[in-house]
Amino acid sequence: MKQIYFNTVQQFNDYYGFETLHPLVSVVRYDKQYKVEECINHYGLYALFLKENKGCKLSYGRTKYDFDEMTVTSFSPGKAIHVEPVPGVEYPKWTAIVFHPDLLARTSLGKNISRYEFFSYTSNEALHLSTGEIEIFRGVLDMISQELHHSIDKHSRDLIVSNIELLLNYCMRFYDRQFVTREEINHTVVKKFEALLKDYIATKAWREGLPKVAYFADKCCLSNGYFGELVRVETGRTAKDFISGHLLAAAKLLLNDESLTVTQVGQRLGFEYSQHFVRFFKTHTGKTPTQYRQAV
């Protein structure tokens, strides 16, 4: 399979036939008659694509990106994206901004780029934009593009980076809106999470250890970041707190069985050491497991 590497803005522009106006950043729109070929795109750049049609299928690892017309996919350095053509759609159309990590060196955005967790969404959640959000997204890209066409001066880098930061902040707002408006999908994921968690505690914890957020995110085919935010919006609790709540409920039920020692209860729940279980239980109830037994 063809392997394509985008380690520089120049490589990206050369591959798609765009002029390079700045060595570290580019804003482009692609609407050429070019048939998509199956390939792996390796990114050494940050990239945000506003996809205007279903011109190709994208996947990262074993999961597919969830995108349709007018959705945004975000890639960060180190990602390898599997691209496949879509039957019946001859030519892809998209608008994109790509920028090299060096553009952010010694800037506040560079120091805080990790807060934009959508770059780490490695599975099937693209950003679905409303008509108004599309206008905002394109409006900010237009401001960056105008700056790229302006002669470079001492203000150029600051203005470009500040507008990229503005774009990323808008994406965070749009994602927050998406978590709320996709309530039915979110509810289904949380129901699956709860069912998987109950089964894990009942059948796997004693053997595989305490349940971890990453395990359930993977089972739901979502990245850790997106899964955690979805659970928080839907339940009002973090995924870790959600797990702790179910562990505590299971612990109370097991402690009602007098034939089990406190150590055995902890082991069944996945605690490697008894003192860790005692600390966990007391933190959440104010009582040790023994004190709880004596009180009920």
Query: CA 54 to CA 56: how far, in whole Å?
Result: 6
Tally Cβ neighbours within 10 Å of residue 195. Answer: 10
pLDDT value of residue 213 = 96
CA 76 to the chain's CA centroid = 11
Q: Rounded distance, CA 99 to CA 92, Å?
A: 21
pLDDT in tens, the chain (296 residues): 889 999 999 999 999 999 999 999 999 999 887 777 888 999 999 999 998 876 556 655 544 555 456 789 899 998 888 888 777 666 778 999 999 999 999 999 999 998 998 887 654 578 888 899 999 999 999 999 999 999 888 899 999 999 999 999 999 999 988 887 777 778 888 999 999 999 999 999 999 999 999 999 999 888 888 899 889 888 889 999 999 999 999 999 999 998 999 999 999 999 999 999 999 999 999 999 999 998 86
Q: What is the predicted pLDDT for the residue at 62?
A: 46
Phi, psi (rounded to 5 degrees) for 98: -125, 140
DSSP string, 127-161: EEPPHHHHHHHHHHHHHHHHHHHSPP-TTHHHHHH
Look at residues 232, 201, 235, 236 and name the one whose alpha carbon lies nearest to residue 215. Answer: 201
Predicted pLDDT of residue 160 = 97
Query: What one-letter code names the amino acid at 2?
Result: K
Phi (first) and psi of residue 178, to 5 degrees: -65, -40
The CB-side HSE value for 62 (13 A sphere, CA atoms) comes to 5
